[in-house]
Structure 1
Amino acid sequence: MRSSCVLLTALVALAAYYIYIPLPSSVSDPWKLMLLDATFRSAQQVSNLIHYLGLSHHLLALNFIIISFGKKSAWSSAQVKVTDTDFDGVEVRVFEGSAKPEVPLKRSVVYIHGGGWALASAKIRYYDELCKAMAEELNAVIVSIEYRLVPKVYFPEQIHDVIRATKYFLQPEVLHKYSVDPGRIGVSGDSAGGNLAAALGQQFNQDANLKNKLKVQALIYPVLQALDFNTPSYQQNVNTPILPRYVMVKYWVDYFNGNYDFVQAMIVNNHTSLDVEEAAALRAHLNWTSLLPASITKNYKPVMQTTGNTRIVQEIPQLLDARSAPLIADQEVLQHLPKTYILTCEHDVLRDDGIMYAKRLESAGVEVTLDHFEDGFHGCMIFTSWPTNFSVGIRTRNSYIKWLDQNL
C-alpha cells in the first residue's frame, strides 16, 4: 500500500512538472493553456519518435494525430448547408448560410486555415465550427480551402492552391451558383493561413486580368516575415505556448524544404546579418524600431549580426520572397490592398508581424483595423468549445465576426 502511494505521488509530481510552465498572469485561462500545450507537446514528441524510428515523416504523423482527434464530416443543418467539393482541382468545404428572400445575394469569405503550412485541415472540428458560425451569423458563403501541406508539397505550392481555388470561385458562373454578390467577397486566414491570405491579396492586387476584386482581408495573428526572429514579441514570448520561437523557425525551414542545420543560426538572425547583401534592401521594410510603438518596443534591442551565414539565403532564397513574407513587399504593392483587419495577441511571437504590417498598410493609405488582445495567445480564436474553450477565444471570434459583419 505504501509503495503504491509513493508511486502515485511520484507520477502526479512528474505530471505536474511536465504540465506546469510559468505564464504571465495576464494570459487567458493559464492552467487550461498549460494542459493544452502539454497535450500538443506530447503529440509532437510521439510524432518525433515515429520519425526517428523511420515509420513516417514527423509532420505527417503529427497531422494524423491532430486530424484523428478532430475530423468532422460535412454535416448540414437548417441554418448552414455544408458541402465538400473541389474548385479547379483544389479541395474545399463550402458553408452556405440559409437563404433570405429579402437578400437575394450573399456576401462571402474565402477562409484559409492555419497550421504552419503543414498541419490541420478545413475539415477538423475547430475550423468547421468557425466557418459554420461565420456562415450563420453573417448569412454568408464561406469557402474553406483544403490546400496541400508540407511535406507533400513546399512553397510556393500552397499559394498556388489558394490562388487557383479563389480564382475559380470568383468566376461569374460560380458566384451565380452560390448566389454570391461579386462586390462583397473577402479573404481571411489565421497564422500560416493569414500568411497565405496576405500573399493572395498581394497577388490579386497585381493581377490586371481579375475583374472581381476582394473587398476586405482579415488576418488573424498572421505570420508575415522570416528575416527577424528577434522582434520584441519574439524576444518576449520565446518559450510561450502554443508557438515558441524555435518551433516557428522550424515551420519556416519545413515550408522551404530547407536544412535543419540552419535553425539555430536563423534564431540569432545570422541569415540576415549585415554581410548578407541580398537582405540589405529589405531590412527597412521591417525596421521595428520605427514601425512599432514605444509601448511595444520597451527596452528590447535589435539583434543585428555584423557577420553571419551567407549560405542560408543562398540555399533558401525563398526567405526573401514577398510571396512567403508579405511584410517585405514594396509600398507600391501595398497601396491598393483592400480594407484590412488584423488581429494580434500579446502572448504570441507573431504579435509584431501583425502590428508592423498594419503600420505599413496605414502608411500606404490602406484603411486598417488593428484588434489587439492583451490576454490572447497564438491560436486562441479557434478554441471556443469544451474542453478547449477559452474566454479570449470566444471574445476574439466575436470581435472578428463583428468586424466582418460591419465591413463586408
Structure 2
Amino acid sequence: MGNKMLLFGISCILLAYYTYMPIPENIEEPWKVRLIDTLTKIATLTATLFEYTGLMKFEHLFFILMRTQNIEPISDENITVIDTEFSNIPVRLYLPKRKSERQRPAVIYIHGGAFVTGSPKMESYDFVNRMTANRLDAVVVAPDYRLAPQYLFPAAIEDCIIVIKFFLQDKVLEKYGVDPAHICISGDSSGGSLTGTVIQLLQDDPEYRNKIKAQAMIYPGLQTIDTWMPSYRENENGPFLSRKLAIMLSVRYFTKETESVHAVLRNEHMPEGSRDLFKFVNWSHFLPEKYKKNHVYREPIHGKLNTFSALHLDRRVSPLLVNDSQLQNLPLTYVITCEYDILRDDGLIYVTRLRNVGVPVTHDHIEDAIHGAILFSTAPMYLHSGLRIIDKYISWLQENL
C-alpha cells in the first residue's frame, strides 16, 4: 500500500511538473485558461505515450477528443440546419426560416483543427455558424473537408474549392436565395489559412474573380517558413496551443515522415535557394514596434529535407508567399489576432502587408485572449473572450457584408 501511495505521489508531482506553466497576469479568466492548458498538456503527454508504445498515432487521440464534441444537425424556430453534400463533399448548411424581401448574404465558414482534426459538426462551430445565420439573416455553408494524415496536402484545399465553386453556381445561389454580391469566406486557425489560400486561388481564376466580397480570419496561420517569430517564442509553451503541439499536428498535413517534425521544431526545414521568399514573412520589417520588443531577427536555417521542404515554397501552404501585386487584388478583409497565440504574428504581418498595398482591412487584436478561444464558447467550459471574439466577428459581418 505504501509503495502504491509513493508511486501515486511521484506521478502527481511529475504530472504537475510537466503541465504547469505560469498564466499571464492580464489574461481573462486565468483559472479557466489554466485548466484548459493543463488538460491539453495531459492530452499531449498521453498522445506521445500512445504513439511511443504503438497504441495509436499522436494526432489520432486529438481527433477522437474533438469528435466527441460533434452534435447532430438540430433545427430551431429560426434556423433549419442540414447535413448534406456539395459535389460529394459533406457540408453543414444553415438556412434562415423567416421570409425575406431581399436576397440574403452568405458566409462560407472553414473550421480549424491544424488540418488533422475538427469538424463543422462540433458544438462550438455549430454555435458560431448558427449565431451568424441568426444575426445576419444569412445562409451559412460549413464544409467538412478531408483531414490529414489520411488525406495529405492539398486535399483540404481541394475540398474547400469544390464546395465554394458548387455554391457559387447561379442555380444554387438562386435555390437558397443568396445575393451573389454579398458572399464572405471565413475561417479560424488552420481554417484561416485555408481561407487565405482559396481566396487567392479564386482571384486567379477568371471565372470566379471578384465573386467573393470579403474574407474574415480568426487567429489565422498564414506561413510555415519561420516558426521562430516573436509570437512563437513568447508563447512557446502555450497557453493551450504550444509551439511543439502545433508543429506536431500540422506537419501531419504535409508528410508522414517523423523526422520532418524535428526539422520544423529547429526551424531548419527550408530548402536551399528559398532565401528570396523570406522577405515576405520577415517580421522585422512588418511587425508593429510594440510586438518586436527585444527580439532579434534570425533567418530560418536551410535544411536537407528537400521533398518535404519544397512544400513550404507553395503559396497554397503559406498565403503570405505572394508579391504585393497579387495581394492588392484581395477583397475587403477582417483579421482577429490574440496576444497569447503562437500565430499572432502571422496575422499582424498579413494586416500590415495588405494595408501597404491598399486593401481595406479591419483588425481587432484581443489583448487578454488565447489561441482557440472560440472553441470554448459553450458550456461547461466557456471563455468570455471566445464569446467576445464571436461577437466582434459577426458585428463586422453585419456592417460590411
Whether 1:299 and 2:294 are equivalent positions in the alignment is: yes
1:9-24 counterparts in 2 under 5 A? 17=17, 20-24=20-24
Change (3 A) 1:304 1:222: same
Identity %: 37
Whether 1:210 and 2:186 are equivalent positions in the alignment is: no
Letter of the 1:298 partner, please give it.
Answer: K
User: Could you say which residue in structure 2 is the equivalent of 1:126?
Assistant: 124
3-state SS, counterpart of residue 320 of structure 2: helix
Name stretches of at least 5 consecutive residues in structure 2 with no aligned partner.
Answer: none
User: Could you say which residue in structure 2 is the equivalent of 1:356?
Assistant: 349
Offset from partner CA, 1:86-143 (integer Å, 9 cap, x none): 10111000011232333x3111100000000001111111111111111111111110
Q: 1:51: how far off?
A: 3.3
User: Could you say which residue in structure 2 is the equivalent of 1:91?
Assistant: 90
Aligned length in residues: 401
Offset from partner CA, 1:297-338 (integer Å, 9 cap, x none): 011011226x642x2244431111100100111222211111
The answer to whether the Cα contact below 8 Å between 1:109 and 1:188 also exists between their aligned partners in 2 is: yes
Whether 1:280 and 2:278 are equivalent positions in the alignment is: no
Please give the root-mean-square deviation of Cα atoms over the aligned residues, in Å: 2.4
3-state SS, counterpart of residue 63 of structure 2: helix
3-state SS, counterpart of residue 172 of structure 2: helix
Q: 2:176 and 2:194 mapped to 1: Cα distance?
A: 24
Say which of 264, 268, 271 aligns to 1:270. 268
User: Could you say which residue in structure 2 is the equivalent of 1:336?
Assistant: 329
Q: TM-score, normalised to structure 1's length?
A: 0.92
Letter of the 1:122 partner, please give it.
Answer: P
3-state SS, counterpart of residue 219 of structure 1: strand
Whether 1:385 and 2:384 are equivalent positions in the alignment is: no
Q: Which segment is superposed worse, 196-205 or 256-265?
A: 256-265
1:131-210 counterparts in 2 under 5 A? 131-210=129-208
Change (3 A) 1:313 1:374: farther
Q: 1:260: how far off?
A: 2.4
User: Could you say which residue in structure 2 is the equivalent of 1:37?
Assistant: 37
The answer to whether the Cα contact below 8 Å between 2:203 and 2:210 also exists between their aligned partners in 1 is: no
Letter of the 1:236 partner, please give it.
Answer: E
Q: 2:263 and 2:209 mapped to 1: Cα distance?
A: 44
Letter of the 2:388 partner, please give it.
Answer: R
Q: 1:97 and 1:113 mapped to 2: Cα distance?
A: 21
The answer to whether the Cα contact below 8 Å between 1:191 and 1:221 also exists between their aligned partners in 2 is: yes
Q: 1:358 and 1:177 mapped to 2: Cα distance?
A: 36
User: Could you say which residue in structure 1 is the equivalent of 2:100?
Assistant: 101
The answer to whether the Cα contact below 8 Å between 1:97 and 1:140 also exists between their aligned partners in 2 is: yes
Name stretches of at least 5 consecutive residues in structure 1 with no aligned partner.
Answer: none
User: Could you say which residue in structure 1 is the equivalent of 2:390?
Assistant: 397
Change (3 A) 1:10 1:197: same
Offset from partner CA, 1:251-270 (integer Å, 9 cap, x none): 33211115322333333432
Q: 1:29: how far off?
A: 1.4
User: Could you say which residue in structure 2 is the equivalent of 1:367?
Assistant: 360
Offset from partner CA, 1:336-391 (integer Å, 9 cap, x none): 11100010000001000001011111122210111101101100123222222112
Offset from partner CA, 1:185-225 (integer Å, 9 cap, x none): 00000000000011000000111022661000001100011
Letter of the 1:115 partner, please give it.
Answer: G
